[in-house]
Amino acid sequence: MEVSAVEQLQVMASKRQYKEAAAQLEAVNQLCSHFEAYRDIPKITELREKFKNIKQILKSHVFSDFSSLGTGKETEETNLLQHLSDACLVVNALEPSVREELVNNFCSRELTSYEQIFEGAELAKLDKTERRYAWIKRRMRTNEEIWKIFPTSWLVPYRLCIQFCKKTRKQLEGILDNLKEKPDVATLLLALQRTLEFEDELAEKFGGGTQSREIGNDIEEIGRQNNSRSALDIRKKYEKKLAAHQGSENEEKVGNKDLSAPGAGFNFHGIISSCFEPHLIVYIELEEKTLMENLEKLVQEETWDVEEGSQNNVLSSSMQLFLIIKRSLKRCSALTKSQTLYNLFRVFQRVLKAYATKLFARLPKGGTGIVAAATGMDGQIKTSDRDERVICYIVNSAEYCHKTSGELAESVSKIIDSQFADRVDMSEVQDEFSAVITRSLVTLVHGLETKFDAEMAAMTRVPWGTLESVGDQSGYVNGINMILTSSIPVLGRLLSPIYFQFFLDKLASSLGPRFYMNIFKCKQISETGAQQMLLDTQAVKTILLEIPSLGQQTSGAAGYS
């Protein structure tokens, strides 16, 4: 029986009767398995060797016939496609390695013309990248019907695209590495954008490897005003985090599949586009230049004032700067989430530090030089009512930048590739803005102290030794009260409670001891003068205790008792 089956298969192989040969192959394979126990018998050994030679002949015939596919013969010979379809049945009946070799040979032959076309001087250019993807899409569309001869389980178009991507990456790497000068940023980004679009199309067509992270919402949350977060807000935040964590666990389970195996969801994202990554430094340089120019423009155009009735009392340059940064982040994250995005994050750090320096530079400075030293004003800070408002706006803006830079880092860490996430940190930038806040509040205190100079001098000029009677509080006390009642309500309205409290603490720790020391500058105090000074001191204490209520702030009043 086995002898007859092998002889029939030999005839079918010689006549290229692939459909019949495929069925006969299955039969002979079964017979070989049945006679496995007798393999040492010479006749069985001879038949096995003959069967092996026949399979080799079939493989040779099939490979020879497939070499005509794509040469135009399929249009001339009407039965050729059916003939090749039957040949696929034979390939399936042979060892899996035969199918692998046939598919690889077919893909390589299909891409030979592609390599020749795009290695030529005319098309081997970065600005011709889009034409590469047009070529393969046109090829697949034109040959869609012809390629149906292949069993769908062979995944021929899928494997062809993988080979195309690998060859394309290699050619683009060569083009980028051999550039004599820095690439044009617009050309580079357009080529990268078209590459990403092509990878998305492949991922959608063949499934698997789709982008799982939605980044738009994270970026949009940057800089949103939410100074009074309720318990409900906090609960929603943590519910959202829990849901995201559970979702990531599910994604991890799915991600354990072998994505390199055909049909298991090969990840096309980055298969070509990642070769652009080392060359995107020119893009980052342009982004930094643009951001710094925008920063200079925003500061130049800043009015250092806030519209009446504004809820946040933050300078427009602060909010505009983060809007610009947000747009920059969106542009970059749409192109890459690897080293380049981290480099851009470093740019954001430098830009925000530069803005902190700009805010610091706008604070009123103390008097310097010969005139200031001669008049005793060296180092003293004089502030007008407008200066005080500007300082408050700077405090609020620095607070806004401190909070928003943290949100920016959080968003970037969610978007960026995991190996960079731990390096995304804005603590140094936040420290810069904290320093601006502290310096601003101290400047505010020093400015108010300078306003008290005239009243302190007036106190020492009172004739304490010759006062005849104790009257109402002295004029200098009224002056102190007038300074505080004109400044404190404005500051209390403009500053947030925590920083208004800080300001009050600094003011109290400064004004109280200063008034105490000023008493010792008053000479020849009579008993009546002492009673008048005691009355004035009590009046100053009362004024200090009423400061929090002047600023419409209830917190911290006990701190002055």
- DSSP string of 389-435? HHHHHHHHHHHHHHHHHHHHHHHHHHHS-HHHHTT---HHHHHHHHH
pLDDT (tens digit per residue) in 247-294 = 444 444 433 333 334 444 578 889 999 999 999 999 999 999 999 999
- In whole angstroms, give the CA distance from residue 76 to residue 510: 101
Please report whether residue 405 resides in a domain. yes
Q: What is the pLDDT of residue 36?
A: 57
The answer to whether residue 237 scores a pLDDT higher than 80 is no
**Are residues 541 and 417 located together in one domain of the fold?**
no
Q: What is the pLDDT of residue 245?
A: 45
Tell me which of 383, 409, 444 is where a domain ends.
Answer: 444
- Within 194-298, strands assigned E span none
At residue 311, what is the residue type? Q
Q: What is the pLDDT of residue 261?
A: 44
Tell me which of 444, 471, 496 is where a domain ends.
Answer: 444
- 57: tokens are 């002949």
pLDDT (tens digit per residue) in 108-130 = 999 998 998 898 777 888 999 99
Please report whether residue 402 resides in a domain. yes
Please report whether residue 292 resides in a domain. yes
**Are residues 436 and 469 located together in one domain of the fold?**
no
**Are residues 287 and 369 located together in one domain of the fold?**
yes
**Are residues 300 and 433 located together in one domain of the fold?**
yes
Q: Which of 556, 455, 544, 540 is nearest to 508 (CA)?
A: 544
Q: What is the pLDDT of residue 551?
A: 66
Q: What is the pLDDT of residue 545?
A: 85
- In whole angstroms, give the CA distance from residue 246 to residue 229: 25
pLDDT (tens digit per residue) in 360-373 = 999 998 754 443 34
Please report whether residue 350 resides in a domain. yes
**Are residues 414 and 468 located together in one domain of the fold?**
no
Please report whether residue 190 resides in a domain. no
Please report whether residue 64 resides in a domain. no
**Are residues 501 and 412 located together in one domain of the fold?**
no
Cβ neighbours of 429 (radius 10 Å):
23
Cβ neighbours of 228 (radius 10 Å):
6
**Contact between residue 319 and residue 223 where contact means Cβ atoms under 8 Å apart:** yes
pLDDT (tens digit per residue) in 300-347 = 999 998 877 677 789 999 999 999 999 999 999 999 999 999 999 999
Tokens 């519209």 locate to 307
Cα four-point dihedral sign 372, 377, 378, 379:
negative
Please report whether residue 193 resides in a domain. no
Please report whether residue 199 resides in a domain. no
- 458: tokens are 């007036």
What share of the chain in percent tops pLDDT 90? 41
**Are residues 456 and 440 located together in one domain of the fold?**
no
Q: What residues contact residue 411 under an 8 Å CB cut-off, 6+ apart?
A: 215, 218, 219, 221, 222, 329
- Residue 273 is given by DSSP the state G
- pLDDT band, residue 31 (cuts 50/70/90): low
**Are residues 469 and 381 located together in one domain of the fold?**
no
- Residue 182 is given by DSSP the state P
SS3 percent helix, strand, coil of the chain, rounded to 5, is 75, 0, 25
Rounded to two decimals, the pTM is: 0.77
Tell me which of 382, 415, 444 is where a domain ends.
Answer: 444
Q: What is the pLDDT of residue 224?
A: 64
**Contact between residue 447 and residue 505 where contact means Cβ atoms under 8 Å apart:** no
**Are residues 362 and 479 located together in one domain of the fold?**
no
Q: Which of 6, 46, 48 is nearest to 27 (CA)?
A: 6
Instruction: State phi, psi for 140 to the nearest 5 degrees.
Output: -70, -35
**Contact between residue 458 and residue 475 where contact means Cβ atoms under 8 Å apart:** yes
Cβ neighbours of 81 (radius 10 Å):
18
- 467: tokens are 């006062």
**Are residues 369 and 312 located together in one domain of the fold?**
yes
- 165: tokens are 């991507």
Host H or E run for residue 454:
helix 453-461
Q: What is the pLDDT of residue 377?
A: 42
**Are residues 412 and 545 located together in one domain of the fold?**
no
- 405: tokens are 């830079």
The answer to whether residue 135 scores a pLDDT higher than 90 is yes
How many structural domains compose the chain?
2
Tell me if residue 337 falls in helix, strand or coil.
coil
Q: How far is CA 301 from CA 287, 294, 316, 365, in A?
A: 21, 10, 10, 21
**Are residues 312 and 375 located together in one domain of the fold?**
yes
Domain with residue 412: its CATH number is 1.10.357.50
Q: Bridge-partner residues for 23, per DSSP?
A: none
What is the span of the domain harbouring residue 457? 452-561
